Amino acid sequence: MTKESLERIDVEGMYEAVRSFPEQLREGRRRALQAETSGWPGTDINGVVVAGMGGSAIGGDILLALGADQATIPIAVSRSYSLPAWVGPNTAVVTSSYSGNTEETLAAFDDACVRGAKVLAISTGGELAAKAKEQNVPLVSLPAGIQPRAALPHSLSALLTVTEPLRLTAVEPEHWAEAVSITRRQSEIMANLADPENPAITLAGALHGHFPVIYSSEQYAAANTRWRNQMHENAKSLAVGNLLPEMNHNEVMGWARFQPELKQLAVVVLRDMEDHARTQRRMDVTRSLLEPHAQSWHEVWSEGSSRLARLLSIMYVSDWVSLYLAIMNNTDPSPVGLISRLKAALVEG
């Protein structure tokens, strides 16, 4: 990996976007704290729905993970045109679209308003911002000019901040500071192209030319999704994944015949110190059974004390690995041509 090859292929500057993640997280939190959302969501809230797609929905997955053992009302992430049937006047609905023009999210916004839900919008502008103004709905504005998936620090900060009054998570101010500190240190290490032991470049090299399979615990489903999506959008490499312990009850049998094609699978297991003890044991046993038949097997451990820091630390690695894999694939990590063509075809009817 050289600076010259990076600059030649990374035309739109994804390297700098990834490198600035810690500062974006710090700035995103600052901006979110200053946003005008007084009166939202009100009282007697019986549930929270985060409506979004792609990078704008990952924040909802993180909120769900952080609130798993804290929230006393249900949290749902809706990646569709309509909302769950239980959404009503006492439901808080956050509609998140970086561009403000995501058709599924716009439809969900309309659906939420028709049902009289407590709605809030997160966006850089577009039609969602216009609808929010028209409906007198609070809007948290994000900075423009970033790829939506690279704007996660801003959209996540906005979501976690506006939902704080609901006490869905146990995130404290010091947890934000820890997340910034850890990702900053990770950035310094993984941005170093000259380091022959750069862990992100090393892992990208192991995945290059092979089929990534991402495994994690159920508690790290958000990180699992982020890893796969970063492989898809940045590296333009198809990746699949699954969760433990569920994977032990079905998918593991897909390895049973030890067919030659398994040698195309490069497995990445996301691990965390708070994973259930039995799940950690399952991960170890699963590795002992399957690793000899895979092309390679890798473990990535989260870092930090707080759950916020640990989740973001393990997700941030995927930003770097997918970026370097894109360079190895000789493809610019920023453009998403097939997505653009698909959207254009949908506009035509």
Tell me the catalytic residues.
233, 249, 343
Which are the contacts of 81, defined by CB distance < 8 A and separation ≥ 6? 103, 104, 107, 108, 111
Q: Which amino acid, one-letter code, is at 194?
A: A
DSSP-assigned letter for residue 137: -
Question: Which DSSP helix (H) or strand (E) runs through 168?
Answer: none
Alpha-carbon distance of 84 to 219, in angstroms, equals 22
What contacts 24+ positions apart, CB below 8 Å, involve 116-119?
116/88, 116/89, 117/49, 117/83, 117/87, 117/88, 117/89, 117/91, 117/92, 117/93, 118/40, 118/41, 118/42, 118/45, 118/89, 118/90, 118/91, 118/92, 118/93, 119/93, 119/94, 119/95
The token pair that represents 123 in the structure block: 């966006």
